Protein backbone atom coordinates (compact mmCIF):
# COMPACT_ATOMS: atom_id res chain seq x y z
CA UNK A 1 0.00 0.00 0.00
CA UNK A 2 1.36 3.43 -0.92
CA UNK A 3 1.41 6.55 1.25
CA UNK A 4 -1.99 7.95 2.21
CA UNK A 5 -3.03 11.16 0.49
CA UNK A 6 -4.38 13.71 2.92
CA UNK A 7 -6.08 17.04 2.41
CA UNK A 8 -3.69 19.96 2.27
CA UNK A 9 -2.43 22.87 0.20
CA UNK A 10 -0.88 20.72 -2.53
CA UNK A 11 -3.27 20.86 -5.54
CA UNK A 12 -2.05 18.01 -7.67
CA UNK A 13 -4.50 15.14 -7.25
CA UNK A 14 -4.47 13.24 -10.55
CA UNK A 15 -1.84 15.48 -12.10
CA UNK A 16 1.29 14.09 -13.76
CA UNK A 17 2.82 17.40 -14.85
CA UNK A 18 3.78 20.44 -12.76
CA UNK A 19 0.81 22.72 -11.97
CA UNK A 20 1.16 26.51 -11.99
CA UNK A 21 -0.84 28.82 -9.73
CA UNK A 22 -0.72 32.44 -8.58
CA UNK A 23 1.04 32.81 -5.21
CA UNK A 24 0.96 36.59 -4.82
CA UNK A 25 2.17 39.92 -6.18
CA UNK A 26 5.21 42.07 -5.48
CA UNK A 27 4.83 45.72 -4.51
CA UNK A 28 5.22 46.77 -8.15
CA UNK A 29 2.45 44.41 -9.25
CA UNK A 30 4.70 41.67 -10.61
CA UNK A 31 3.00 38.30 -10.26
CA UNK A 32 4.71 35.53 -8.32
CA UNK A 33 3.75 31.99 -9.26
CA UNK A 34 3.99 28.67 -7.48
CA UNK A 35 4.65 25.37 -9.22
CA UNK A 36 3.40 22.12 -7.66
CA UNK A 37 4.77 18.75 -8.69
CA UNK A 38 4.73 15.21 -7.38
CA UNK A 39 6.54 11.99 -8.23
CA UNK A 40 7.47 8.81 -6.41
CA UNK A 41 5.67 9.90 -3.26
CA UNK A 42 7.51 13.23 -2.95
CA UNK A 43 5.57 16.49 -3.28
CA UNK A 44 7.36 19.72 -4.10
CA UNK A 45 6.21 23.33 -4.36
CA UNK A 46 8.51 25.95 -5.90
CA UNK A 47 8.17 29.70 -6.38
CA UNK A 48 9.53 31.53 -9.39
CA UNK A 49 10.61 34.14 -6.81
CA UNK A 50 14.15 33.10 -5.90
CA UNK A 51 13.56 29.50 -6.96
CA UNK A 52 12.23 29.07 -3.43
CA UNK A 53 11.18 25.62 -2.22
CA UNK A 54 7.97 26.75 -0.52
CA UNK A 55 6.92 23.25 0.52
CA UNK A 56 8.27 19.71 0.38
CA UNK A 57 6.12 16.84 1.63
CA UNK A 58 7.25 13.28 2.27
CA UNK A 59 5.52 10.42 4.13
CA UNK A 60 6.54 8.94 7.48
CA UNK A 61 6.79 5.24 8.28
CA UNK A 62 2.97 5.06 8.48
CA UNK A 63 2.45 6.85 5.19
CA UNK A 64 1.43 10.16 6.75
CA UNK A 65 2.62 13.24 4.89
CA UNK A 66 4.24 16.28 6.45
CA UNK A 67 5.85 19.38 5.00
CA UNK A 68 9.50 19.03 6.09
CA UNK A 69 10.78 22.41 4.85
CA UNK A 70 10.30 25.77 6.57
CA UNK A 71 8.62 28.58 4.65
CA UNK A 72 5.90 31.22 4.48
CA UNK A 73 2.37 31.20 3.07
CA UNK A 74 2.68 34.68 1.51
CA UNK A 75 5.09 36.55 -0.74
CA UNK A 76 5.35 39.62 1.51
CA UNK A 77 7.21 37.66 4.20
CA UNK A 78 9.57 36.15 1.62
CA UNK A 79 10.42 39.62 0.36
CA UNK A 80 10.77 41.36 3.71
CA UNK A 81 11.65 38.80 6.36
CA UNK A 82 12.98 35.51 5.07
CA UNK A 83 16.29 34.09 6.35
CA UNK A 84 16.68 32.43 2.92
CA UNK A 85 13.94 29.83 3.50
CA UNK A 86 14.20 27.32 0.63
CA UNK A 87 16.02 29.76 -1.64
CA UNK A 88 18.39 29.33 -4.56
CA UNK A 89 21.61 31.04 -3.51
CA UNK A 90 23.99 32.92 -5.83
CA UNK A 91 26.16 34.20 -7.18
CA UNK A 92 28.19 33.06 -4.22
CA UNK A 93 26.76 30.91 -1.44
CA UNK A 94 27.94 31.65 2.09
CA UNK A 95 30.24 34.49 3.18
CA UNK A 96 32.89 36.59 1.46
CA UNK A 97 35.28 38.45 3.80
CA UNK A 98 34.79 42.22 3.73
CA UNK A 99 32.71 41.76 0.58
CA UNK A 100 35.67 41.73 -1.75
CA UNK A 101 37.99 39.45 -3.69
CA UNK A 102 40.83 39.81 -6.19
CA UNK A 103 40.87 37.96 -9.50
CA UNK A 104 43.51 38.29 -12.24
CA UNK A 105 44.96 41.30 -10.46
CA UNK A 106 41.69 43.21 -10.18
CA UNK A 107 39.84 43.71 -6.89
CA UNK A 108 36.04 43.59 -6.89
CA UNK A 109 33.89 45.17 -4.18
CA UNK A 110 30.68 43.26 -3.57
CA UNK A 111 27.40 44.14 -1.93
CA UNK A 112 27.86 43.96 1.87
CA UNK A 113 24.87 42.66 3.86
CA UNK A 114 26.30 40.76 6.87
CA UNK A 115 28.20 43.25 8.95
CA UNK A 116 31.30 44.04 6.90
CA UNK A 117 30.92 40.85 4.90
CA UNK A 118 28.90 39.73 1.90
CA UNK A 119 26.48 36.84 2.46
CA UNK A 120 24.71 34.67 -0.14
CA UNK A 121 25.31 37.03 -3.05
CA UNK A 122 24.55 40.34 -1.36
CA UNK A 123 21.47 42.45 -0.73
CA UNK A 124 19.85 41.39 -4.02
CA UNK A 125 21.17 37.89 -4.53
CA UNK A 126 19.65 35.21 -6.73
CA UNK A 127 17.05 34.54 -4.01
CA UNK A 128 15.46 37.97 -4.56
CA UNK A 129 14.70 37.83 -8.28
CA UNK A 130 12.02 36.27 -10.45
CA UNK A 131 13.34 33.30 -12.42
CA UNK A 132 12.01 32.07 -15.76
CA UNK A 133 10.53 28.60 -15.18
CA UNK A 134 9.86 25.85 -17.70
CA UNK A 135 8.05 22.70 -16.49
CA UNK A 136 8.82 19.29 -17.94
CA UNK A 137 7.65 15.70 -17.78
CA UNK A 138 10.09 13.38 -19.51
CA UNK A 139 9.97 9.61 -19.21
CA UNK A 140 9.52 8.83 -15.52
CA UNK A 141 10.80 12.24 -14.34
CA UNK A 142 8.99 15.51 -13.72
CA UNK A 143 10.55 18.83 -12.90
CA UNK A 144 11.27 22.49 -13.48
CA UNK A 145 14.05 24.26 -15.37
CA UNK A 146 14.82 27.71 -13.94
CA UNK A 147 16.77 30.32 -15.90
CA UNK A 148 18.22 33.67 -14.90
CA UNK A 149 20.81 36.03 -16.39
CA UNK A 150 22.88 38.04 -13.90
CA UNK A 151 24.34 41.06 -15.68
CA UNK A 152 27.97 42.15 -15.45
CA UNK A 153 28.47 44.08 -12.21
CA UNK A 154 25.34 42.83 -10.43
CA UNK A 155 26.08 42.95 -6.69
CA UNK A 156 29.67 43.77 -7.71
CA UNK A 157 30.40 40.47 -9.46
CA UNK A 158 32.20 40.57 -12.82
CA UNK A 159 30.82 39.00 -15.98
CA UNK A 160 27.36 38.35 -17.35
CA UNK A 161 26.44 35.02 -15.78
CA UNK A 162 23.77 32.83 -17.37
CA UNK A 163 22.45 30.44 -14.74
CA UNK A 164 20.30 27.36 -15.24
CA UNK A 165 19.00 25.29 -12.33
CA UNK A 166 16.94 22.12 -12.80
CA UNK A 167 14.75 20.62 -10.09
CA UNK A 168 13.87 16.99 -10.89
CA UNK A 169 11.63 14.55 -9.04
CA UNK A 170 12.35 10.95 -10.05
CA UNK A 171 9.98 8.00 -10.03
CA UNK A 172 11.66 6.92 -6.80
CA UNK A 173 10.86 10.25 -5.14
CA UNK A 174 14.43 11.58 -5.22
CA UNK A 175 14.83 15.35 -5.55
CA UNK A 176 17.79 16.24 -7.76
CA UNK A 177 19.21 19.73 -8.22
CA UNK A 178 21.42 20.37 -11.27
CA UNK A 179 23.21 23.71 -11.40
CA UNK A 180 24.79 25.16 -14.56
CA UNK A 181 26.33 28.55 -15.36
CA UNK A 182 28.42 30.22 -18.04
CA UNK A 183 30.12 33.62 -18.09
CA UNK A 184 31.58 36.06 -20.60
CA UNK A 185 34.23 37.29 -18.14
CA UNK A 186 36.28 35.61 -15.43
CA UNK A 187 34.23 35.47 -12.22
CA UNK A 188 33.56 33.34 -9.14
CA UNK A 189 30.51 31.12 -8.66
CA UNK A 190 29.17 29.02 -5.79
CA UNK A 191 25.49 28.09 -6.15
CA UNK A 192 23.54 26.18 -3.52
CA UNK A 193 20.10 25.55 -2.03
CA UNK A 194 19.05 26.88 1.38
CA UNK A 195 16.24 24.55 2.47
CA UNK A 196 15.59 24.51 6.21
CA UNK A 197 14.82 20.90 7.16
CA UNK A 198 12.70 19.50 9.96
CA UNK A 199 11.87 15.89 9.17
CA UNK A 200 9.21 15.80 11.90
CA UNK A 201 7.39 18.56 10.00
CA UNK A 202 7.83 22.33 9.88
CA UNK A 203 6.66 24.04 13.07
CA UNK A 204 6.84 20.80 15.08
CA UNK A 205 9.66 21.93 17.37
CA UNK A 206 13.35 21.25 17.82
CA UNK A 207 15.59 19.26 15.52
CA UNK A 208 18.04 18.46 18.32
CA UNK A 209 16.78 14.86 18.45
CA UNK A 210 17.40 14.40 14.72
CA UNK A 211 20.30 12.05 14.06
CA UNK A 212 23.01 13.22 11.67
CA UNK A 213 25.99 11.68 9.92
CA UNK A 214 28.50 13.71 7.90
CA UNK A 215 31.28 11.98 5.97
CA UNK A 216 33.96 14.50 6.92
CA UNK A 217 37.13 14.30 9.05
CA UNK A 218 37.79 18.06 8.92
CA UNK A 219 35.93 21.34 9.02
CA UNK A 220 36.78 25.01 8.49
CA UNK A 221 36.88 26.99 11.77
CA UNK A 222 35.73 30.60 11.57
CA UNK A 223 36.50 33.94 13.18
CA UNK A 224 33.92 35.99 15.08
CA UNK A 225 32.43 37.15 11.77
CA UNK A 226 31.96 33.51 10.72
CA UNK A 227 34.64 33.84 8.04
CA UNK A 228 36.94 30.79 7.71
CA UNK A 229 40.38 31.28 9.24
CA UNK A 230 41.93 29.15 6.50
CA UNK A 231 42.58 26.20 8.82
CA UNK A 232 41.29 22.74 7.94
CA UNK A 233 40.81 21.45 11.47
CA UNK A 234 40.20 17.86 12.52
CA UNK A 235 36.78 17.01 13.92
CA UNK A 236 38.25 14.26 16.12
CA UNK A 237 37.63 14.89 19.79
CA UNK A 238 35.36 17.88 19.11
CA UNK A 239 31.58 18.47 18.94
CA UNK A 240 32.05 18.69 15.16
CA UNK A 241 32.61 14.96 14.76
CA UNK A 242 29.58 13.50 12.97
CA UNK A 243 31.44 10.62 11.33
CA UNK A 244 29.37 8.31 13.49
CA UNK A 245 25.66 8.99 13.72
CA UNK A 246 24.65 11.09 16.71
CA UNK A 247 21.79 13.30 17.83
CA UNK A 248 22.36 16.94 16.87
CA UNK A 249 21.64 18.07 20.41
CA UNK A 250 24.15 15.73 22.04
CA UNK A 251 27.14 18.08 21.83
CA UNK A 252 25.57 21.35 20.72
CA UNK A 253 26.03 22.99 24.14
CA UNK A 254 29.56 21.78 24.80
CA UNK A 255 30.91 25.32 24.97
CA UNK A 256 33.52 24.87 22.25
CA UNK A 257 34.70 28.34 21.20
CA UNK A 258 33.52 27.70 17.64
CA UNK A 259 30.02 26.87 18.86
CA UNK A 260 29.89 29.85 21.19
CA UNK A 261 30.62 32.41 18.48
CA UNK A 262 28.26 30.74 15.98
CA UNK A 263 25.53 30.11 18.60
CA UNK A 264 25.59 26.43 17.60
CA UNK A 265 26.68 24.81 14.37
CA UNK A 266 27.19 27.11 11.37
CA UNK A 267 30.27 25.71 9.68
CA UNK A 268 31.56 24.15 6.51
CA UNK A 269 32.55 20.48 6.71
CA UNK A 270 35.41 19.42 4.43
CA UNK A 271 34.01 16.28 2.82
CA UNK A 272 36.39 13.32 2.83
CA UNK A 273 35.60 12.48 -0.80
CA UNK A 274 36.65 15.92 -2.10
CA UNK A 275 35.46 17.09 -5.51
CA UNK A 276 34.10 14.14 -7.49
CA UNK A 277 32.95 13.62 -11.07
CA UNK A 278 29.52 12.46 -9.91
CA UNK A 279 27.52 12.75 -6.67
CA UNK A 280 28.60 10.58 -3.76
CA UNK A 281 26.86 10.10 -0.44
CA UNK A 282 28.00 12.65 2.15
CA UNK A 283 25.30 12.97 4.81
CA UNK A 284 22.31 11.23 6.38
CA UNK A 285 19.65 12.95 8.49
CA UNK A 286 16.97 10.97 10.34
CA UNK A 287 14.04 11.83 12.58
CA UNK A 288 13.59 8.87 14.97
CA UNK A 289 9.97 9.74 15.78
CA UNK A 290 8.61 9.65 12.22
CA UNK A 291 11.28 7.47 10.65
CA UNK A 292 11.74 10.03 7.86
CA UNK A 293 15.27 9.91 6.51
CA UNK A 294 17.13 12.20 4.13
CA UNK A 295 20.32 11.12 2.38
CA UNK A 296 22.39 13.67 0.48
CA UNK A 297 24.84 12.97 -2.33
CA UNK A 298 26.90 15.62 -4.08
CA UNK A 299 29.98 16.19 -6.24
CA UNK A 300 30.90 19.30 -4.21
CA UNK A 301 33.80 19.40 -1.68
CA UNK A 302 31.93 21.05 1.21
CA UNK A 303 28.75 20.85 3.26
CA UNK A 304 27.53 23.77 5.37
CA UNK A 305 25.62 22.50 8.41
CA UNK A 306 23.61 25.26 10.07
CA UNK A 307 21.52 24.41 13.13
CA UNK A 308 18.96 27.22 12.86
CA UNK A 309 20.74 29.34 15.47
CA UNK A 310 19.23 32.67 14.48
CA UNK A 311 15.57 31.65 14.36
CA UNK A 312 14.06 33.63 17.24
CA UNK A 313 10.31 33.00 17.30
CA UNK A 314 9.41 36.14 15.32
CA UNK A 315 8.64 34.27 12.07
CA UNK A 316 5.40 32.37 11.52
CA UNK A 317 5.52 29.56 9.01
CA UNK A 318 3.21 27.84 6.54
CA UNK A 319 1.55 25.82 9.30
CA UNK A 320 0.75 28.88 11.41
CA UNK A 321 3.39 28.16 14.06
CA UNK A 322 6.38 30.26 15.02
CA UNK A 323 9.93 29.12 14.32
CA UNK A 324 12.29 29.23 17.27
CA UNK A 325 16.03 28.61 17.64
CA UNK A 326 16.93 25.08 16.58
CA UNK A 327 13.58 24.35 14.91
CA UNK A 328 15.29 23.45 11.63
CA UNK A 329 18.68 22.87 10.06
CA UNK A 330 20.34 23.46 6.71
CA UNK A 331 22.69 21.12 4.84
CA UNK A 332 24.07 23.19 1.97
CA UNK A 333 26.26 21.42 -0.58
CA UNK A 334 28.88 23.90 -1.74
CA UNK A 335 32.43 25.03 -2.25
CA UNK A 336 33.98 26.52 0.87
CA UNK A 337 33.02 29.97 2.17
CA UNK A 338 35.39 32.81 1.21
CA UNK A 339 37.29 30.55 -1.21
CA UNK A 340 38.36 33.44 -3.51
CA UNK A 341 40.32 34.87 -0.56
CA UNK A 342 41.76 31.55 0.65
CA UNK A 343 44.60 30.22 -1.50
CA UNK A 344 44.45 26.73 0.05
CA UNK A 345 40.72 26.26 -0.64
CA UNK A 346 39.45 24.69 -3.90
CA UNK A 347 38.99 27.30 -6.62
CA UNK A 348 35.58 28.73 -7.48
CA UNK A 349 36.78 30.65 -10.55
CA UNK A 350 34.72 30.32 -13.74
CA UNK A 351 36.14 31.57 -17.04
CA UNK A 352 34.65 32.18 -20.49
CA UNK A 353 34.33 28.91 -22.41
CA UNK A 354 33.89 26.89 -19.23
CA UNK A 355 30.59 25.61 -17.83
CA UNK A 356 29.94 25.44 -14.11
CA UNK A 357 28.11 22.17 -13.40
CA UNK A 358 27.23 20.51 -10.14
CA UNK A 359 24.58 18.08 -8.92
CA UNK A 360 23.05 17.33 -5.52
CA UNK A 361 20.69 14.39 -4.91
CA UNK A 362 18.22 14.18 -2.00
CA UNK A 363 16.88 10.68 -1.32
CA UNK A 364 13.96 10.21 1.07
CA UNK A 365 12.76 7.16 2.94
CA UNK A 366 10.96 6.19 6.13
Q: Give me the DSSP letters along 8-36.
A: SS---TT--S-EEEEEEE-TTS-EEEEEE
280 is catalytic: no
pLDDT value at residue 235:
98
What's the rounded mean pLDDT across residues 99-108? 98
Q: Which of 120, 194, 210, 335 is catalytic?
A: 194
Q: What is the pLDDT of residues 15-44, one digit of tens each?
A: 578 999 999 999 999 999 999 999 999 999
| Whole-number Å distance between alpha carbons of 239 and 166 | 35
pLDDT value at residue 327:
98
Asked if residues 88 and 165 have their Cβ atoms less than 8 Å apart, the reply is yes
3-state secondary structure of 140: coil
106 is catalytic: no
Q: Which of 38, 120, 332, 335 is catalytic?
A: 332
What distance lies between CA 50 and its chain's CA centroid? 12
Q: What is the pLDDT of residues 194-203, one digit of tens each?
A: 999 999 999 9
Reported confidence tier of residue 98, pLDDT bands at 50, 70, 90:
very high
pLDDT value at residue 7:
36
Residue 242, pLDDT > 60, answer yes
C-alpha distances in Å from residue 255, one per residue of 43, 225, 259, 263? 39, 18, 6, 10
pLDDT value at residue 40:
97
Angle (CA) 312 22 25, round 5°: 65
Amino acid sequence: MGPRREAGPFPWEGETEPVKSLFGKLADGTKVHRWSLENGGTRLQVLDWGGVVQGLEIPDRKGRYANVSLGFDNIDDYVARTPYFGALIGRYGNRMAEGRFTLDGETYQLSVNDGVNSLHGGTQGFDKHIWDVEPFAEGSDVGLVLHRTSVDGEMGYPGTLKAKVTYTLTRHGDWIIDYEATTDKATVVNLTSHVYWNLAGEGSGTIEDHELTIEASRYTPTDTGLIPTGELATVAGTPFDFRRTKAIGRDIRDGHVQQVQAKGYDHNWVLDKGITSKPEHVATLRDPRSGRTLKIATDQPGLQFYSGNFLDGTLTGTGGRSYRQGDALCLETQHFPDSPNQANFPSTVLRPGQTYRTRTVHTFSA
